Structure 1
Amino acid sequence: MIKLIVVDDHVVVRSGLMMLLNGKNEMEVIGEAADGNEAIEKASILKPDVILMDLSMPHGKDGLTATKELKELMPDIAILILTMHDDEEYLFRAIHAGASGYILKSAPHEELIAAITSVATGNAYLNPNATRKLMSEYMDRMKKGDSSSTFELLSDREKEILEWIAKGYSNKEIAENLIISVKTVESHKSNLMEKLGIKSRHELVKYAMKKGLLHFE
């Protein structure tokens, strides 16, 4: 059973999504929110598997800000952006914030269900148009010799943990210094390694050195 929270500032949209998702045997909507502030509060209490997040919410925190904060607090949570904005700038910002997927509100119901299932199992999801835009942008950056693109996909917390790892600190020591759990450190480490395509701690150290992250006091 995939447990979800639906976040959208329009009551009619939330109601429609909840009706659709609760009609699926493998899904259950356990909460709803009208803005980013409420989404963070509900998620911390209800512990959903997936948050279906709108981007544009005029009251309270917007979807991008809420996504970034939620991934800092709950790195294991999957956030699927559901929006009307078919715009590459929003797409890149959503991925940078830590979203697991990006799908348009105009998408068929079957595609939405498939996207939720995908991110709930730890995979990423982008609709074909978004994938083309992302690949096009990536190729353009590679042609220009921009090696910072993958680094920019890391959240601020992931960059911080990368620096601690590179300096030789263990997961337990990092957790004690940052006042977070060892499990949270391990999750951030796993996420940043996946984003960077790195398989070992040794490779992380080499990467951090290239990025100039080893600043000892």
Structure 2
Amino acid sequence: MTATDATPPIRLLLCDDHAVVRAGLLALLSSTAGIEVVGEAGSGEEALAMAARLRPDVVLMDLQLGDGMDGVEATRRLASGAAAPGTGPAPEEPAPRVLVLTMFDTDADIARAIGAGATGYLLKAERPEELFAAIRNAAAGRTALSAPVADRLMAQMRTPRPTLSERERDILQQLARGLGNREIARALFISEATVKTHLGRIYGKLGVDTRAGAVAVATERRLLG
């Protein structure tokens, strides 16, 4: 595939907090026909600012971005068209596609990224040809998934929806609001020990081990409605 005057190259913005990784991606992609790297961001905040200025077609986004905004929140803002805090999409410019490129493939990470609006989810272990194809698919609005990620999503779809008790649903709703154990206990008029017991059961049913993971999976499986 070659870039021609009739087919402009895909404008790509890189976002990864590791300079060595960005340098490697830049070297790899700069020699790829049809793809033009227009910028490099080392944080979620920087990616939003650069996307607002450069208007890329695709943002290649890592999930773990150090101490600032994580890749999921940056993806959510980019996909919604709010390329910079407090801004909305420019009426003549569509929001960029976001292609996640990460080392992490847990169910919770996948659910959070896809729920935030990512067009695709790729693992860093993929071959270069797979990355090139995923970028082109993302630019065209097609879903791009690593084979292991697709397998995990299919497994989730085949897995029966977990059955939560009414009390577990109540606690999960409070969890989604960002409340801590003590606040949940006060809101539901139960003890903190009871909250912890229910949380353990919720984690087991959802196959997660963190509060954020429970909320992400519950949201993805529509258990909070």
The answer on 1:15 being equivalent to 2:34 is no
Aligned to 1:119: 138
> What is the identity percentage for the equivalent residue pairs of Structure 1 and Structure 2?
43
Aligned to 1:96: 115
Q: What does the per-residue CA deviation read over 1:65-115, in whole Å, with 9 as the maximum and x for residues that have no partner?
A: 100111122563110000011212111110000000011111111111111
TM-score by length of 1: 0.64
The count of residues paired between Structure 1 and Structure 2 equals 147
Distance 1:69 1:76 in 2: 9
Post-superposition offset of 1:133: 0.9
Of 36-45 and 17-26, the range deviating more from structure 2: 17-26
TM-score by length of 2: 0.61
The answer on 1:67 being equivalent to 2:86 is no
Q: Is the partner of 2:159 in helix, strand or coil?
A: helix
Q: One-letter code of the match for 2:120?
A: G
Aligned pairs for 1:16-165 within 5 A: 16-72=24-80, 73=82, 74=89, 76-141=95-160
Q: One-letter code of the match for 1:14?
A: R
Contact 2:119/2:143 (8 A) holds in 1: yes
Off by >3 Å, runs of 4+ in structure 1: 141-144
Q: One-letter code of the match for 2:73?
A: T
Distance 1:95 1:101 in 2: 8
Distance 1:48 1:59 in 2: 25
Point out where structure 1 has 5 or more consecutive residues left out of the alignment.
Answer: 145-211, 213-217
Computed over aligned residues only, the root mean square deviation of the Cα atoms, in angstroms, reads 2.0
Q: One-letter code of the match for 2:28?
A: L
Aligned to 1:205: none
Contact 2:63/2:101 (8 A) holds in 1: yes
Distance 1:127 1:141 in 2: 23
Greater helix content: 1
Q: One-letter code of the match for 1:49?
A: D
Post-superposition offset of 1:143: 8.4
Distance 1:126 1:102 in 2: 5
Judging changes above 3 Å, is the alpha-carbon distance between structure 1 residues 29 and 56 closer, same or farther for their aligned structure 2 residues? same
